[in-house]
């Protein structure tokens, strides 16, 4: 490939409306162009990267035994109603009406259609297990599309769906997909972690997310220093706290005229924030008033709280409800209640406290030296309802560390959620109809491109991992018009590199070295070779890895050796 024959259009300007570095760099490199909110055209340069990612995903899915197929992007309402998702999916589902007034949606995912395909195509356990996948355009009508292709409305996704007769076989395929995903992200050259995830609205039992690690990532992740344990903070859990100490203080009421936060109360009393307790007033779906208690230095985790029996679908209590139940305004709430017994859900770390501080349910007052069993009943429910924090003891004995990640893959054991709703059965070994078990496995193909940039860039632009680069190697010519030997040598080198199996490009645009190098760095080519008159005389080429501080002059054999090493 010669750059003079390739449409490349870089810009120096930093686009005003692009917040994320990947978005800015993709625009500056000319990889994408915005068509409308959340809709991007991929230029030839951008598509080269996208197709390299797609090819690796396809190869590894095939290697794992999954079978590629292709489903329509436009899908009929009737099918989505069979699972209830026509309504449940919400306004992200782009609905379409055709000329005959039939309703369809632009698929954001394809569980319904693939399960319909499976119920028609699969009739016997002998056809199982099977894993169908596609790499196809999806659409999610985001309320606020942003960050370029990181959260576009139209995007490229690999979605796979497996069908099984037994839970054990589903678990086996789930591990198989875990291994395939690990190979995919490893081959792409990305730093990533598989983390336990909340399976959320999609339902089902077990799920893991694959995250590309990057400081700008939307998701907070927790790792253990002692093992492979990793989880989204939505679900990450710390080790059980140490046993509760014996009470040492007497219960006392203290004046806290303006102290409405744990921080303010701890400062006033000169005690550690860890000895204060936050009381969060909520109302369960059945109307029950509940106080959720977490330590002053912790944050309540709403996803965990909603998993406490009886609290699915809870909401924050209104001020009127709080006043009616506790007789106090917010800022001074606590679990010791003179009026009536209050349901209490205590975080494990709160249940392990002695001599702690809570609100007195009276404006301007808190209670200190509070102890379970003595000053108030033992908590009715003890559960993990907080976010882990950096330094927590992990369940495996290590320490919890936090990092940020960008979700690029997700694997689920769905179980029978969709197959039951759609009646997808096969005859089992005994000739009895059995509802199949199902797994689903997604990869955000276009999102990977942006995530890779978030993880790999510097002040000069993108730094592609070799496997994703539009070209692995750029051959740059200095002053070829002045010395035709330079042009001939560069062309010969290009052919030699290509013959060695390297995806190389020749920059024959005739730019000055500064502008040429700036482009090659901006678009992130991992390896740059400069062919110059001086080098030809010395019998060397100037080689520079994109991440290296300096260039080195190498003979051809050493150069090829270096490139082969990657």
Site residues, its own copies (CB under 8 A): 5-7, 9, 30, 33, 35-37, 39-44, 46-47, 50-51, 65, 67-76, 79, 91-92, 94, 96, 98-99, 102, 104, 106, 113, 116-117, 120-121, 127, 130, 132, 136-137, 139, 141, 143, 153-154
Nearer to its own copies, 143 or 338 (CB): 143
Neighbours of 36 (CB within 10 A): 9
Smallest distance, Å, CB 33 to its own copies? 6
Nearer to its own copies, 69 or 312 (CB): 69
Residue 137 · residue 156 · CB < 8 Å = yes
Smallest distance, Å, CB 136 to its own copies? 8
Q: How far is the C-alpha of 151 from the C-alpha of 139, rounded, in Å? A: 11
Which residue, chain included where needed, has tokens 């975080």? 347
Q: Does 129 sit behind a cis peptide bond, omega within 30 degrees of 0 on the bond before it?
A: yes
Q: How far is the C-alpha of 9 from the C-alpha of 193, rounded, in Å? A: 34
Smallest distance, Å, CB 512 to its own copies? 16
Give the end-to-end CA distance of the chain in Å, rounded to a whole number: 20
Residue 394 · residue 238 · CB < 8 Å = yes
Sheet holding 277-283, edge to edge: 315-316, 277-283, 289-295, 343-347, 381-383
Neighbours of 229 (CB within 10 A): 18
Smallest distance, Å, CB 487 to its own copies? 19
Smallest distance, Å, CB 203 to its own copies? 23
Nearer to its own copies, 112 or 542 (CB): 112
Smallest distance, Å, CB 122 to its own copies? 8
Smallest distance, Å, CB 389 to its own copies? 37
Q: How far is the C-alpha of 508 from the C-alpha of 234, rounded, in Å? A: 51
Nearer to its own copies, 144 or 547 (CB): 144
Nearer to its own copies, 170 or 322 (CB): 170
Q: How far is the C-alpha of 101 from the C-alpha of 370, rounded, in Å? A: 66
Smallest distance, Å, CB 39 to its own copies? 4
Nearer to its own copies, 113 or 385 (CB): 113
Q: How far is the C-alpha of 481 from the C-alpha of 494, rounded, in Å? A: 18
Neighbours of 215 (CB within 10 A): 10
Residue 8, burial from CB neighbour count under 10 angstroms (0-12, 13-18, 19+): middle
Smallest distance, Å, CB 246 to its own copies? 58
Nearer to its own copies, 104 or 412 (CB): 104
Nearer to its own copies, 130 or 254 (CB): 130
Smallest distance, Å, CB 231 to its own copies? 32
What one-character-per-residue DSSP string does 36-66 give?
ETTEEEEPHHHHHHHHHHHHHHHHHHHHTT-
Nearer to its own copies, 196 or 474 (CB): 474
Nearer to its own copies, 106 or 418 (CB): 106
Question: With the C-alpha atoms ordered 268, 269, 275, 278, is the resulting torsion angle positive or negative?
Answer: negative
Q: Are strands 433-435 and 130-139 parallel, antiparallel or unpaired?
A: unpaired
Which helix (H) or strand (E) is 176 found in, with range? helix 167-187
């Amino acid at each position: 490939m010669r750059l003079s024959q390739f449409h490349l259009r870089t810009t120096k300007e930093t686009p005003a409306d692009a917040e994320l570095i990947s978005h800015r760099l993709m625009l500056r490199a000319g990889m994408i162009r915005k068509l409308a909110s959340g809709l991007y055209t991929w230029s030839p340069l951008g598509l080269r990267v996208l197709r390299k990612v797609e090819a690796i995903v396809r190869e590894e899915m095939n290697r794992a035994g999954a079978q590629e197929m292709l489903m329509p992007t436009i899908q009929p309402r009737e099918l989505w109603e069979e699972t209830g998702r026509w309504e449940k999916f919400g306004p992200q589902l782009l609905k379409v009406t055709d000329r005959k007034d039939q309703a369809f949606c632009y698929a954001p995912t394809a569980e319904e259609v693939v399960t319909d395909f499976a119920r028609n195509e699969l009739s016997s356990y002998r056809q199982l297990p099977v894993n169908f996948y596609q790499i196809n355009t999806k659409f999610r009508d985001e309320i606020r599309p942003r960050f370029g292709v990181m959260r576009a409305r139209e995007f490229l996704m690999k979605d796979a769906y497996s069908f099984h007769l037994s839970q054990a076989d589903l678990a086996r395929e789930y591990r198989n997909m875990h291994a395939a995903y690990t190979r995919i992200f490893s081959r792409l050259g990305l730093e990533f972690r598989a983390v336990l995830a909340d399976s959320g609205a999609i339902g089902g039992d077990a799920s893991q997310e694959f995250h590309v690690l990057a400081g700008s990532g939307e998701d907070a992740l927790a790792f253990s220093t002692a093992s492979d344990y990793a989880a989204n903070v939505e679900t990450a859990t710390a080790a059980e706290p140490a046993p509760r100490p014996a009470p040492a203080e007497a219960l006392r009421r203290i004046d806290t005229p303006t102290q409405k936060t744990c921080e303010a109360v701890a400062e006033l009393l000169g005690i550690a924030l860890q000895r204060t307790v936050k009381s969060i007033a909520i109302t369960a779906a059945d109307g029950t008033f509940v106080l959720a208690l977490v330590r002053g230095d912790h944050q309540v985790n709403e996803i965990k709280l909603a998993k406490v029996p009886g609290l699915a679908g809870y909401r924050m209590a209104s001020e009127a409800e709080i006043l009616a139940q506790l007789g106090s305004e917010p800022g001074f709430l606590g679990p010791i209640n003179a009026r009536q017994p209050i349901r209490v859900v205590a975080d494990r770390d709160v249940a392990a406290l002695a001599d702690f501080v809570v609100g007195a349910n009276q404006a301007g007052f808190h209670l200190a030296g509070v102890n379970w069993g003595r000053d108030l009943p033992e908590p009715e429910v003890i559960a993990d309802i907080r976010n882990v924090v950096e330094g927590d003891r992990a369940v495996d004995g290590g320490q919890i560390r936090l990092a940020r990640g960008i979700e690029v893959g997700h694997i689920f054991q769905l179980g029978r959620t969709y197959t039951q709703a759609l009646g997808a059965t096969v005859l089992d070994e005994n000739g009895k109809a059995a509802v199949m078990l199902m797994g689903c496995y997604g990869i955000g193909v276009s999102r990977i491109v942006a995530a890779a940039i978030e993880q790999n860039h510097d002040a000069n632009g993108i730094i592609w991992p070799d496997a994703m680069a539009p070209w692995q190697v750029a051959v740059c010519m200095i002053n070829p018009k002045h010395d035709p030997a330079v042009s001939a040598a560069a062309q010969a080198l290009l052919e030699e590199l290509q013959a060695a199996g390297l995806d190389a490009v020749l920059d024959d645009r005739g730019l000055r070295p500064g502008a040429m190098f700036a482009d090659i760095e901006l678009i992130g080519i991992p390896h740059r070779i400069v062919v110059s008159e001086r080098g030809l005389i010395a019998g060397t080429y100037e080689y520079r890895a994109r991440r290296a501080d300096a260039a080195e002059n190498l003979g051809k054999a050493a150069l090829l050796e270096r490139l082969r090493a990657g």
